[in-house]
Amino acid sequence: HMVTVRYADGKGWYEPRVEARAPIPMDPASAVLHYAQEIFEGLKAYTLPDGGVAMFRPEANAARFAQSAQRMAMPALPEEIFLKSLHEIISIDRQWIPGGEDGSLYLRPFAYASEVFLGVRPSLEYLYLVIASPVGPYFSGGVKPVSVWVTPDYTRAAPGGTGAAKCGGNYAAGLSAQAEAIEHGCDQVVYLDAVERKYIDELGGMNVFLVLDDGSLVTPPLTGTILPGITRDSVIKLAERAGRRVEERAISLQEWRDGAASGRVREAFACGTAAVITPIGTIKSLDGDFTVADGGPGEVTMGLRKELVDIQRGRAEDTFGWVHRVF
């Protein structure tokens, strides 16, 4: 199925509907096709051990969707409509939620400029939709480290740009960098900052953390050029609760490379909704390749992963109130 809600200037959000998933008619002059005014979110619904169904921190996705809307000059969708639309699609497509430990129903809320108008100004009409798709485990047969390519050519976002928004254009702009990573035999691209080409921003679809030899974590700060990952935020809160120091600060590629050589950097991992937490294996760049330790799953990385997945899946106590039960 799909959920649709319309928006018109002066009228607000109206006509919420759940209907059979079908193509959406689009005029060739629909604003989004020309000026890419579009935003989206991604999250999962999954089965709990008692047979219930839950989502992980959907309120955080609602908040980020509102922030993305603000950056893209789009009207904010109230949290209530966002959450209700997810409940609706989960209810009607419940039989598509895979059972078992690892599967989930991936939910994709998105909104785009639907006004038929060829001109550069914010659209006066929008369409919000939610579609869903069952997904299996991200890793079959155990967590595998991701290999990454530090792109010398491309940046993801510049100061003042759209890096902190989850808009389709960011991903279109990342396709060439992703292709470059694949050509170099890597799974994901690492973006450096656009100004000095020196500091790590994030991966193509994940945030980055380093574990230092004193047990502390470091991660690039939210200065507007990276996506404020919900997994990133959860990792910070879990680590801090366990008494670990977490520093959000600029990390240069040089610090990563030198730290790997000296042992100052003990582990590196990436995190995001899809893979949750995954070790970073080989780091390839024009200045040569390196790994942190042996490039395998580190103890802190795997500990955090287990802790987070256990909370998500209802196997550990949810002291932060992150698990949003639908049934």
Q: State how far the Cα of 136 lies from the Cα of 138, in Å rounded to an integer.
A: 6
- Both tokens of 220, joined, read 């690039």
β-pair type (276-284, 146-150):
parallel
Which of 164, 227, 277, 280 touches ligand PMP by CB under 6 A? 227
Minimum distance, C-beta of residue 159 to ligand PMP, in the bound complex (Å): 17
Using alpha carbons, select from 109, 19, 3 the residue that is nearest to residue 55.
109
d(CA 325, CA 244): 29
- Binding of ligand PMP at residue 207 (CB under 6 A)? yes
For ligand PMP, give the closer residue by CB, 180 or 289.
Answer: 180
| 190: three-class secondary structure by DSSP | strand
CB of 302 to ligand PMP, least distance (A): 18
Contact 256, 268 (CB under 8 A): yes
**The two structure tokens encoding residue 15:** 């006509």
Query: Interface with ligand PMP includes 53 (CB under 6 A)?
Result: no
> With respect to ligand PMP, which residue has the nearer C-beta, 31 or 308?
308
Contact set for ligand PMP, span 33-52 (CB under 6 A): 42
Residue closer to ligand PMP, measured from CB, 74 or 276: 276
The partner residues of 200 in beta bridges, in order of sequence, read 192
Binding flag, residue 206, ligand PMP (CB under 6 A): yes
Q: Does the protein bind ligand PMP through residue 272 (CB under 6 A)?
A: yes
Our finding on whether 202 is near ligand PMP (CB under 6 A) is yes
- Binding to ligand PMP by residue 169, rule CB under 6 A? no
Q: How far is the CB of 164 from ligand PMP (least distance, A)?
A: 10
Q: What is the DSSP string of 248-266?
A: E---BHHHHHHHHHHTSEE
Decide if residue 273 touches ligand PMP (CB under 6 A).
Answer: yes
How many residues touch ligand PMP (CB under 6 A)? Answer: 12
Rounded to a whole number of angstroms, the minimum distance from the CB of residue 171 to ligand PMP is: 7
Site for ligand PMP in 230-259 (CB under 6 A): 230-232
β-partners of residue 217 are 211, 246
Beta bridge partners of 55: 45, 324
- Of 183, 7, 211, 1, nearest in space to 86 by CA: 1
Which residue's entry shows tokens 């991936």?
A: 106
205 part of the interface to ligand PMP, by CB under 6 A: yes
- Span near ligand PMP by CB under 6 A; candidates 6-14, 82-90, 229-237, 309-317: 229-237
Distance CA 63, CA 252 (A): 30
- Residues in contact with ligand PMP by CB under 6 A are 42, 202, 205-207, 227, 229-232, 272-273
